[in-house]
Amino acid sequence: MALFIPDMVTICYDIQMNSLRPPKVIIFDWHATLVDTRDAMYHAVDDLLPQFDGLELIDRLIDPTLSKTVEDAKLVEYVRDYRRLHPKVKAERKISRTDIFEVLFGSDEEAKDIAHIAFNHCYRNHFGEAHPIETGVRDMLIELSNLHIKIGVLSNRDREFLQHELEFIDNGSWVNLFGTVVGGDDIQKRKPAPDPIEKAIENLGENPGLHCWYVGDSTTDTISAKIAGVTNIFYNGAQWEPDWISRIFPGTEEHPYQPDCVVNDFIEFLSLVKQCRGLR
């Protein structure tokens, strides 16, 4: 069951907020968590989906009866029929590229790898600009560093994109805010495997544990964090309603992974960090 913390509008699962381990390390997902690059992402997905026949991915789409939700099943069927995203999905701009692949291919890791590689070729035609997902993100990162918390960032997309966007945003003033940067091609397996998180933590000279927090916006981020054995904070930048969050994190045998906390913005997140560290 979800627990609401009224003063922060924060949802915590399974454990009380005051039992969260104070973070020594915080790793952030990049796309749709710290920065907004959704226009480029959706353009690249538009280019990718018609290629599914040539990539032999259409026959590898998950059986809709095995989908987590009715909405996921409808998305699979729509992509199978039309080789594109449903207009409503594109209009809402809420679901991440990684979650799209999770919905379409389920546990077929080889199919997702093929899709990721093809997506990168498509993304190269559209990437470039990156903007903070919220006002004040840079100041939040600086304040975390001032609390002597080690900060890292990672992405399932290749390092060339992540590095370029990192150097673009706010005229390159974010580059020195992170103790490590991990791209999807820096590790053997991308999320939902734990490899990117484990690599980032290793680069910061730490071992995975609940004192390490991973902040991401997708169900894939949560799966990766829980497998890695770190605390997961789900960033609800899409402003999903609580009932939908409960549906995408059902806690069932088939889909057991749930975030430790959900925050709706980085004001809430910074407050959570400070409360866990005993600060006002």
Summarize pLDDT for 52-89 with one digit per residue, the tens: 999 999 999 999 999 999 999 999 999 999 999 999 99
For residue 237, is pLDDT > 80? yes
Residues 44 and 69 in one domain: yes
Same domain, 182 and 257: yes
- Is residue 164 located within the same domain as residue 239? yes
The pLDDT-based confidence of 17 (bands split at 50, 70, 90) is low
Same-domain pairing of 143 and 29: yes
* pLDDT average, residue stretch 91-96: 88
Tens of pLDDT, residues 184-211: 999 999 999 999 999 999 999 999 999 9
* Domain interval for residue 45: 38-123
The answer, yes or no, to whether residue 15 has pLDDT greater than 90, is: no
Looking at residue 280, what is its pLDDT? 65
Predicted confidence band of residue 11 (pLDDT cuts 50, 70, 90) = low
**159 and 67, same structural domain?**
no
Predicted confidence at residue 192, as pLDDT, reads 93
Q: How do residues 97-136 score in pLDDT, each as one tens digit?
A: 889 999 999 999 999 999 999 999 999 999 988 999 999 9
Among 96, 123, 150, identify where a domain stops: 123
Highest mean pLDDT among 34-38, 39-43, 138-142: 138-142
Residue 71: Cβ-neighbour burial (10 angstroms; 0-12, 13-18, 19+):
middle
Q: Judge whether residue 12 has pLDDT over 90.
A: no
Last residue of a domain, one of 95, 123, 151: 123
Q: Residue 1: its pLDDT value, please?
A: 32
Same domain, 174 and 252: yes
Burial of 4 (0-12, 13-18, 19+ CB in 10 A): exposed
Does the structure show a pLDDT above 90 at 235? yes
Q: Is 63 helix (H, G, I), strand (E, B) or coil?
A: coil
Identity of the amino acid at 143:
E
Q: In what order do the strands lie in the sheet with 231-235?
A: 2-5, 10-13, 261-263, 231-235, 212-216, 25-29, 150-154, 180-182
List the structure tokens of 100: 């799209």
Domain count along the chain = 2
Instruction: Please report, for the domain that includes residue 139, its CATH number.
Output: 3.40.50.1000
Residue where a domain terminates, one of 77, 106, 123: 123
- Cβ atoms within 10 Å, residue 192: 26
* Average pLDDT across the chain, whole number: 92
Q: For residues 79 and 86, give the distance between their C-alpha atoms in angstroms, rounded to a whole number.
A: 8
- The SS3 of residue 214 is strand
Global pTM?
A: 0.89
Output the CA–CA distances (angstroms, integers) from residue 164 to 27, 33, 36, 136, 167, in the order listed: 19, 17, 14, 21, 5
